[in-house]
Chains A and B, each alone.
Chain A
Amino acid sequence: EAQVTQNPRYLITVTGKKLTVTCSQNMNHEYMSWYRQDPGLGLRQIYYSMNVEVTDKGDVPEGYKVSRKEKRNFPLILESPSPNQTSLYFCASSFISPTGAGEQYFGPGTRLTVT
């Protein structure tokens, strides 16, 4: 089954404790991206990647890191989480066409709470 998986689905942590949210896709997509969703603000793009070893900042990259060492995986790293990073996080992937990334397939989401 074609899918994007994220782990963990739920995480409660404390300020300053480094964490990683994993994302994996099995569709051989070149493009992968991370979003956060907050009430009243909608989905905002954190980072995206066009291919292995190619990553770019989205709209809200501060406080996050990513890496793309393999095509299928795109982990999101919070080196020192803070309460304002409490949010619902989505990973997504898509093929790239001549006009750019197309239909995005989203993972089920990771609900992160930082206390």
Chain B
Amino acid sequence: RKEVEQDPGPFNVPEGATVAFNCTYSNSASQSFFWYRQDCRKEPKLLMSVYSSGNEDGRFTAQLNRASQYISLLIRDSKLSDSATYLCVVTLTTGNQFYFGTGTSLTVIP
């Protein structure tokens, strides 16, 4: 069973749309949660950490639901530059071993 599961998409949305991604994790002892962004053939880069109370960074909002073991990412007012693959990342209790989802592909269309 995979530690982290994501819908691979692709999600194709028009500019200005709101899009949401979910990610489920299997281990209830998971400790830290992140969303990374990866552009084609490039290295992943941190988009945002996910905190228990939820957090927002501009057009991006991340939520954590420990009871149902999922995290979500909401992107409002999508821009062409948001086109990328979004990776859900989870660490276990020790906080030192990282598990990545396979990523969700987003294309924002003009």
Chain A positions within 8 Å of B, measured between CB atoms, are 31, 33, 35, 40-45, 48, 50, 56, 58-59, 90, 96-97, 99-104, 106-109
Contact = CB atoms under 8 A, between A and B. Distances in A.
Interface string B97-110: 11111110000000
A107 B44 CA distance: 9
B65 to A, nearest CB: 19
A103 B96 contact: no
Interface of B: 31-32, 34, 41-46, 49, 87, 91, 94-103
A33 B103 contact: no
Contact of B32 (A35, A90, A100, A107): A100
Contacts of B41: 109
Given A42-B100, A42-B101, A109-B43, A100 B31 contact: yes
A101 B96 CA distance: 5
A44 B87 CA distance: 12
Could you say which of A41, A44, A99 has the most chain B C-beta atoms within 10 Å of its C-beta? A99
